[in-house]
A and B are shown apart, each in its own frame.
Chain A
Amino acid sequence: MALRVRDLSLRFGGVLAVDSMSIDVAPGEIVGLIGPNGAGKTTFINCVSGNYRADAGATEWHGESLFGKRPHEIIRRGVVRTFQNVASLHDLTVLDVVKLGAMMATDVGLGERLSAMLRSEQARNALLTETILRPLRLADVADHPLQSLSYGLRKAVDLARALAAHPRLLLLDEPVAGLTSQEGAVMSQAIRDARDRLGCSVVMVEHKMDVVNATCDRIVVMAAGAKIFEGTAAQVQVDPEVRRVYLGEP
């Protein structure tokens, strides 16, 4: 198991946002995390990525505990996340953002870093554009400021940033929310490509079932902070508890 989370809990005042959540993710596996609004999916991701500090539980990444570590320490261990709300960052361009992601990559050796510094800025830009931006259809907007892009493109840039960090675990927070079905398909393909090329694991919080079914190997369902089911797409659709939570069936 690459990622093991056991009994993670987080309380906000009187609200138990995450209730003894446990999850296992194998290397190279894409896991979808679904559930109704307010189920605690994003909060759970925030705990794993270090943005929130859980009250209790254990998070193990390749045997090492991530509990209590800060986001920048967790990212340096290959656990990278994307965000639901992509803030506009003044006049930073797409390439600037991707380079910010690239600076978190820890699998780059010293020799490679030195040769990268000696390479000209243009060569570096071209390399990043080809390897990271083109698969996400972002090559044409490489030097555009982030603020001038549509929401869908900005989310793609956020994914590009995460991929540039050579992640071994990708935590995606609603990657296709607000996207057209065409943009969503591009995203979904890019996620699968990343898993195939980099061999990374993916945990993907999402609402759009068609994308989840097309992209994920396994699905975990959360409701009211706790896990209520996990299995394949077919199994999820017929489970009575899931149907009760989602469709209100008795």
Chain B
Amino acid sequence: MTRSSLVPIILAILAIAVSLMLGRYGAYLTHVVAIAAIGAMSLNLLNGWCGQINFAQAALLGVGAYTAGNCGNAGWDVFSLLAAGIASALAAVLIGLPALRLRGLYFAIATLAAQFIFEYLFKFAEPITHGVSGLLIQPMKLLGRVIDTDQGYAVLAICLLLLTWLFMTWIRRTDLGRAFLVVRENEVVARGMGINVPQTKMWAFLISGFFAGIAGGLMGFTDRLAHPEAFGMGLSVDYIAMIIVGGLGSLPGSLLGAAFVSLLPEAIQRFGEAFNMADQLSAFREMAFGLLIILFLIFEPRGLSAILGKTNVQRMMARFARRPTNPVRDQAKNQPKWRSVE
């Protein structure tokens, strides 16, 4: 186990080093991507691995942000993030309860309803959330020191991302992780095999919610503000796009998707500024976003992780070293794009 976790640890150290050298804007982009990646991995566990659709991811992030903000302002330091995780985990379980009785589409729409209800609550529960004007959040304190630079948050975000990655990789190899996959594929078979399906789904919601809360808490600290509009339906769609574009069910895919969806607006911004198209920018950005989702789903539904995937890299390396590839493994990976859903 320790051998395969060496690579992520080394990559994380490299990422930290790079972000410290990049200056403010680079560090800013780094923590935006890292935080989005934590959120994307949480959604990936719930949706990519356990097959539970969730339109309320933004609501969970919001719960995390508001919780972390209130706890942070009250002086809880780094424990605010823990509180955020727990609060979002509880909210996720609440949202997931209807999942136990509802199937597929009905459940998806129920999560849609949950998203809107939470949005309303964010605006409505003024004593806690300060309503539409938003909750001002003080910078986080870690071990007595205040973190108020982009570099500081970048380092923090990367560390938490690493922990999230290691945890997710571990879960995937446990009985619970395997149970997730079977529940996703076929609930009837899962039940027949003796898996307690409702319990498995609840665990998926709980764990997913916890990490969504951490991501949300980090969002709150880095934005210095939590307000209802930041946690609307659009953000939920962003996260769904991240895991689809990255590749459903793939951990590196969640990272790639998060990077893609987060950096795209920035890239278009720079592009637009270069060509002086400032007023058309937000429309153009949305158009590119919508078009990319559609194109990815039609042409490469397994996402970026498949395009940059292991088999392709292995095949390239094998060709380079003139080693024979493993035909059985390749055959399994080369299944037709969309298998019949029987």
Does chain A touch chain B in the assembled complex, meaning CB atoms less than 8 Å apart? yes
Residues of A within 8 A of B (CB): 49, 51, 70-72, 74-76, 80-81, 83, 87-92, 96, 99-101, 103-104, 120-121, 144-145, 147-148, 161, 165
A145 and B193 CA atoms in complex are apart in Å by 18
State A72–B332 Cα separation when bound (angstroms).
31
**Interface pair A165/B192, CB less than 8 Å apart:** no
Q: Provide the bound-state CA to CA distance between A145 and B328, in Å.
A: 9
Give bound CA distance, A182 to B293, whole Å: 50
Q: With A87-B189, A91-B332, A121-B173 as known contacts, state yes or no: A80 contacts B178, CB within 8 Å.
A: no
Give the complex CA separation of A74 and B193 in angstroms. Answer: 10
Check if B332 sits within 8 Å of A144, measured CB to CB: yes
Tell yes or no: B168 within 8 A of A by CB: no
Residues of B bordering A, CB below 8 Å: 1, 173, 175, 178-179, 181-182, 184-186, 189, 191-197, 328, 331-332, 335
User: Which one of B191, B192, B197, B332 has the greatest number of beta carbons of chain A within 10 Å?
Assistant: B192
What are 21 of the A-B contact pairs (CB < 8 Å)?
A: A51-B191, A51-B192, A70-B191, A72-B196, A76-B194, A83-B192, A87-B185, A87-B186, A87-B189, A89-B185, A90-B185, A96-B181, A100-B178, A100-B179, A100-B182, A100-B195, A121-B1, A144-B328, A147-B332, A147-B335, A148-B332
A92 contacts B194, C-beta separation under 8 Å: no
Q: Judging by beta carbons under 8 Å apart, are A104 and B194 in contact?
A: yes
**Ranked 6 nearest A-B pairs via Cβ:** A75-B194, A103-B175, A104-B194, A145-B332, A72-B196, A148-B332
B182 touches A89 (CB 8 A): yes
- Alpha-carbon distance between A200 and B44 when the two chains are bound, in angstroms: 41
Looking at the assembled complex, report how far the CB atom of B44 sits from the nearest CB atom of chain A, in whole angstroms: 15
Q: How many A-B residue pairs have CB under 8 A?
A: 67
The interface residues of chain B lying within 8 Å CB-to-CB of A87 are 185-186, 189
Given A71-B194, A83-B192, 12 extra CB contacts under 8 A: A49-B192, A72-B196, A72-B197, A80-B194, A83-B189, A89-B181, A89-B186, A90-B181, A104-B193, A145-B332, A147-B332, A148-B332
Question: What B residues does A144 contact at CB under 8 A?
Answer: 328, 332
Assess the A92–B178 pair: CB atoms within 8 A: yes
Give CA–CA (A80, B195) in the complex, Å.
Answer: 12
Closest B-chain residue to A173, C-beta based? B192
Whose C-beta in chain B lies nearest to the C-beta of A83? B192
Decide: A100 near B335, CB < 8 A? Known: A92-B178, A92-B181, A144-B328. Answer: no
Assembly CA distance A91 to B194 (angstroms): 20
Given that A144-B332, A145-B332, A147-B332 are known contacts, is A71 also in contact with B185, CB under 8 Å in the complex?
no
Scoring B173, B179, B182, B197 by chain A CB atoms within 10 A of each residue's CB, the highest score goes to: B182
Q: How far is the CA of A133 from the CA of B126 in the complex (A)?
A: 61
Contacts of B189 in A (CB 8 A): 83, 87, 89
Instruction: List residues of chain A with CB within 8 A of the CB of B192.
Output: 49, 51, 71, 81, 83
